[in-house]
């Protein structure tokens, strides 16, 4: 089979690999679509582990089922989580499934940017989801990223009637914007440095979109009855955006660190200015649980047309280098999907 070996964002090589062999309880999936995630282009995160096959936002067809597999058959249309929790440890039992040790060590092989992947037994049992007939393979690649957004907004305790500031209007920011409005946010303000993305933010529900280079926290007061944001969501790696978030959050508000930062980013803050007598909170969120994936699937099925509008590029496996270039440059692209069978 063909697979894309990742060496760097500018060096991806199509190579031939054996189709994975499966064992008891495992599935062989024929990958139909796989989205490029923002984390896929973080070179520093995997520079000591290359070459490897990336890709985790998959939709697929069951090509082969191992002995003992219950509930899935050849030909089924599915999506699968690359990381799954054990549901038994201290963290899982306390609602923190995404810091479970098992979740951090599970994955499918070799990666979604290949024609086939082997799904281990634990992923089959705890992280495989049958796709509704009407849900396209391309749209199904949103299940994992939307699940991450759902979990993050729950961690940030986003509620109806709040004012939400989203810093960074790439695909993650747009998912946050859409979901916040879907859940009843009174006002969503989007920031970015790209006119294309600001226009998409408005299209997908932002009440106001602003050019980040010209934004000042006082702008929030002008459009929000003199108040800052109840929740600020960081969907960019920029150091300056972190400072903007701290200056833009209202008393009793929340700053949500959603996007990972550059490798050596540090935060300097005034404890008294930011926290004393303000009850502000800084929270983070990583990945998603199986429950989040199922909720994301329900939202996608009901609103497929909205998510289809976020797809800007569909690229065959042989053109994956272009896909990584588009995502890395972060200009006029949103969701870039690789088609491993083409």
Q: Find the CATH number of the domain harbouring 134.
A: 3.90.180.10
In a domain, 263, yes or no: yes
Q: Based on the domain organization, do 332 and 266 belong to the same domain? A: no
The pair of structure tokens assigned to 233 is: 């969501």
Q: Based on the domain organization, do 115 and 230 belong to the same domain? A: no
The pair of structure tokens assigned to 197 is: 């993305």
> CATH number, domain at 203?
3.40.50.720
Tell me which residue range forms the domain holding 95.
2-141+288-339
- What pLDDT is attached to residue 262? 82
Q: How far apart are CA 105 and CA 90, in angstroms?
A: 16
Secondary structure of residue 149 in the 3-state scheme: helix
Average pLDDT value for residue range 160-183: 97
71, burial (CB in 10 Å: exposed 0-12, middle 13-18, buried 19+):
exposed
Select from 60, 243, 61 the least CA-distant residue to 167: 243
In a domain, 150, yes or no: no
- What pLDDT is attached to residue 238? 85
Q: Based on the domain organization, do 292 and 280 belong to the same domain? A: no
Please give the tally of structural domains in the chain.
2
Average pLDDT value for residue range 15-20: 98
Could you tell me how many residues make up the chain?
342
Q: Based on the domain organization, do 131 and 6 belong to the same domain? A: yes
- What pLDDT is attached to residue 270? 86
- The answer to whether 245 and 220 have CB atoms below 8 angstroms apart is no
In a domain, 310, yes or no: yes
Residue 261's pLDDT band, with cuts at 50, 70 and 90, is: confident
In a domain, 81, yes or no: yes
pLDDT at position 265 over 90: no
In a domain, 302, yes or no: yes
Report pLDDT digits (tens) over 278-335: 999 999 999 999 999 999 999 999 999 999 999 999 999 999 999 999 999 999 999 9
Q: Which residues lie across from 110 on neighbouring strands?
A: none
Q: Based on the domain organization, do 121 and 69 belong to the same domain? A: yes
Extended beta strands in the chain, E state: 2-8, 11-16, 27-35, 57-65, 77-80, 116-119, 128-130, 163-167, 187-192, 208-211, 229-234, 249-257, 281-284, 311-316, 335-339
Select from 215, 110, 238 the least CA-distant residue to 165: 215
In a domain, 163, yes or no: yes
User: What is the average pLDDT value for the chain, to the nearest integer?
Assistant: 96
């Amino acid at each position: 089979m063909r697979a894309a070996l990742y060496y760097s964002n500018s060096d991806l090589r199509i190579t031939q690999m054996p189709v994975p062999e499966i064992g008891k309880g495992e599935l062989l999936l024929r990958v139909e679509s796989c989205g490029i995630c923002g984390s896929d282009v973080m070179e520093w995160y995997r520079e000591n582990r290359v070459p490897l096959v990336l890709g985790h936002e998959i939709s697929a067809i069951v090509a082969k089922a191992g002995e003992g597999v219950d509930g899935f058959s050849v030909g089924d249309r599915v999506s699968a989580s690359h990381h799954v929790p054990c549901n038994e440890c201290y963290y899982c039992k306390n609602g923190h499934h995404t810091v479970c040790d098992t979740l951090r060590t599970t994955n499918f092989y070799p990666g979604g940017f290949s024609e086939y992947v082997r799904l281990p037994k634990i992923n089959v049992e705890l992280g495989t989801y049958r796709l509704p007939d009407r849900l396209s393979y391309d749209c199904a690649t949103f299940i994992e990223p939307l699940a991450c957004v759902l979990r993050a907004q729950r961690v940030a305790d986003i509620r109806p009637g709040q004012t939400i500031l989203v810093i960074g209007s790439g695909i993650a920011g747009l998912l946050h914007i859409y979901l916040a409005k879907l859940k009843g946010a009174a006002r969503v303000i989007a920031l970015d440095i790209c006119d294309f993305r600001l226009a998409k933010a408005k299209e997908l529900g932002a009440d106001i979109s602003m050019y980040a280079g010209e934004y000042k926290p006082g702008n929030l007061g002008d459009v929000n009855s003199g108040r800052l944001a109840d929740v600020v969501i960081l969907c960019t790696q920029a150091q300056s955006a972190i400072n903007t978030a701290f200056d833009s959050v209202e008393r009793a508000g929340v700053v949500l660190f959603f996007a990972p930062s550059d490798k050596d980013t540090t935060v300097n803050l005034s404890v008294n200015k930011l926290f004393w007598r303000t009850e502000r909170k800084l929270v983070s969120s990583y990945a998603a649980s199986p429950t989040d994936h199922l909720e994301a699937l329900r939202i996608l099925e009901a609103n497929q047309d909205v998510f289809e509008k976020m797809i800007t590029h569909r690229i065959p496996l042989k053109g994956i280098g272009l896909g990584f270039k588009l995502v890395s440059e972060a200009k006029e692209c949103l969701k870039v999907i690789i088609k491993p069978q083409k």
